[in-house]
Amino acid sequence: MPASSIYIHLPFCKTKCPYCDFASFAKEDDKRQRYIDALCSEIDQRMLQWDLRDVEIKTIFFGGGTPSVHSRAELEQIFSKLKQWFKILNSAEITLEANPGTIDRAKLEQFIELGINRISFGAQSFDPDLLEKLGRGHSVEDSIRFASVLNRHCKEERRSNPVDQQSLSTGLLHCVRNDGRLASWSLDLIYGLPGQSLESWQQSLEQALEFSPPHISAYCLSIEANTPYGKIYGDSSHQDLPQETKLIEMYELANEKFKAAGLERYEISNWAKPGHEARHNLVYWRGQEYFAFGLSAHGYIDSLRYANTRELEQYLAGIFEQESSKIGTQEKLEEKILLGLRLAEGLSLNQELNAAINQAKLQELKNTGFIEGQNLIKLSDKAQLVSNRVIAELCYH
Ligand code: SF4
Residues β-bridged to residue 376: 348
Least confident of 51-60, 170-179, 231-240: 170-179
CA dihedral 148, 154, 158, 162 (to 10 degrees): -150
Close Cβ partners of 102 (under 8 Å, ≥ 6 residues apart): 14, 66, 68, 69
Q: CA separation (Å) from 31 to 37, 38, 88, 111, 331?
A: 10, 11, 28, 21, 38
Per residue in 127-151, pLDDT (tens digit) is: 999 999 999 999 999 999 999 999 9
- Residue 99, ligand 1, Cβ within 6 A: yes
- 351-357: long-range pairs with CB below 8 Å, 24+: 356/330, 356/395, 357/394, 357/395
The pLDDT value recorded for residue 171 is 31
Orientation of helix 32-50 relative to helix 72-85, angle to 10°? 10
- Closest residue by Cα to residue 267 from 344, 214, 215, 338: 344
pLDDT, greater one: 250 or 391: 250
What is the average pLDDT across 239-248? Answer: 91
Q: Please choose from 16, 96, 97, 193 the residue to mutate so as to test ligand 1's pocket, defined by most ligand atoms within 8 A of CB.
A: 16
Q: Which atom of ligand 1 is nearest to the CA of 21?
A: 8
Superfamily of domain 5-285: Aldolase class I (3.20.20.70)
Q: Coil, strand or helix: which one is 267? A: strand
Contact 124, 145 (CB under 8 A): no
What is the average pLDDT across 329-343? Answer: 89
Q: Taken in order 156, 161, 167, 173, is the CA torsion positive or negative?
A: positive
Most confident of 247-251, 315-319, 369-373: 315-319
Q: How many helices (H) and strands (E) does the chain have?
A: 14, 17
Residues β-bridged to residue 119: 96, 185
Peptide bond between residue 294 and the one before it cis (omega within 30 degrees of 0): no
What is the average pLDDT across 335-362? Answer: 91
Q: For residue 186, give the H/E element and its range.
A: strand 184-191
* Cα–ligand 1 centroid distance for 351 (angstroms): 42
Orientation of helix 244-260 relative to helix 198-209, angle to 10°? 20
- Residue 64, ligand 1, Cβ within 6 A: yes
Least confident of 96-105, 234-243, 253-262: 234-243
Q: How confident is the model at residue 331 (pLDDT cuts 50, 70, 90)?
A: confident
Residues β-bridged to residue 26: 13
Q: Which fold has domain 328-397?
A: Arc Repressor Mutant, subunit A (1.10.10)
* Cα–ligand 1 centroid distance for 122 (angstroms): 9
The answer to whether residue 375 scores a pLDDT higher than 60 is yes
The pLDDT value recorded for residue 165 is 34
Q: Which atom of ligand 1 is nearest to the CA of 13?
A: 4
Distance CA 352, CA 336 (A): 11
What is the residue extent of each domain of the chain?
A: 5-285, 328-397
The pLDDT value recorded for residue 90 is 92
The pLDDT value recorded for residue 155 is 60
The answer to whether residue 77 scores a pLDDT higher than 90 is yes
- Residue 22, ligand 1, Cβ within 6 A: yes
Across all residues in the chain, what is the average pLDDT?
A: 90
pTM of structure: 0.92
Q: Which atom of ligand 1 is nearest to the CA of 16?
A: 5
Per residue in 304-326, pLDDT (tens digit) is: 999 999 999 999 999 999 999 99
Q: How confident is the model at residue 385 (pLDDT cuts 50, 70, 90)?
A: confident
* Cα–ligand 1 centroid distance for 21 (angstroms): 8
- Residue 13, ligand 1, Cβ within 6 A: yes
Q: Please choose from 9, 14, 17 the residue to mutate so as to test ligand 1's pocket, defined by most ligand atoms within 8 A of CB.
A: 17
Terminal-to-terminal C-alpha distance of the chain: 30
The pLDDT value recorded for residue 164 is 38
Q: Please choose from 22, 96, 103 the residue to mutate so as to test ligand 1's pocket, defined by most ligand atoms within 8 A of CB.
A: 22
The answer to whether residue 167 scores a pLDDT higher than 90 is no
Q: How confident is the model at residue 175 (pLDDT cuts 50, 70, 90)?
A: very low
* Cα–ligand 1 centroid distance for 102 (angstroms): 12
Close Cβ partners of 336 (under 8 Å, ≥ 6 residues apart): 287, 347, 353
Longest dimension (CA), the chain: 58
The pLDDT value recorded for residue 168 is 32
Least confident of 197-201, 312-316, 335-339: 335-339
Distance CA 229, CA 225 (A): 8
- Closest residue by Cα to residue 153 from 107, 185, 121, 123: 185
The pLDDT value recorded for residue 166 is 37
What is the average pLDDT across 277-289? Answer: 95
The pLDDT value recorded for residue 284 is 94
* Cα–ligand 1 centroid distance for 368 (angstroms): 39
